[in-house]
Amino acid sequence: MLVKRTNILFDPEMWRKLTELAKQQNTTIGELTRTAVQKAYFENEEYEKRKEATKKIKLLRKQIKGRFSAEVIKELINYGRKY
Confidence of residue 83 (pLDDT cuts 50, 70, 90): low
The pLDDT of 49-59, averaged and rounded, is: 89
Contact 41, 33 (CB under 8 A): no
- The distance in angstroms from the start CA to the end CA of the chain is 32
C-alpha triplet 10, 31, 41: angle, nearest 5°: 80
Confidence check: pLDDT of 42 > 90: no
Taking the mean position of all CA atoms in its chain, how far away is CA 13? 31
Is the entire prediction scored with pTM above 0.85? no
CA distances from 15 to 9, 11, 23, 64, 72 (A): 9, 6, 12, 55, 59
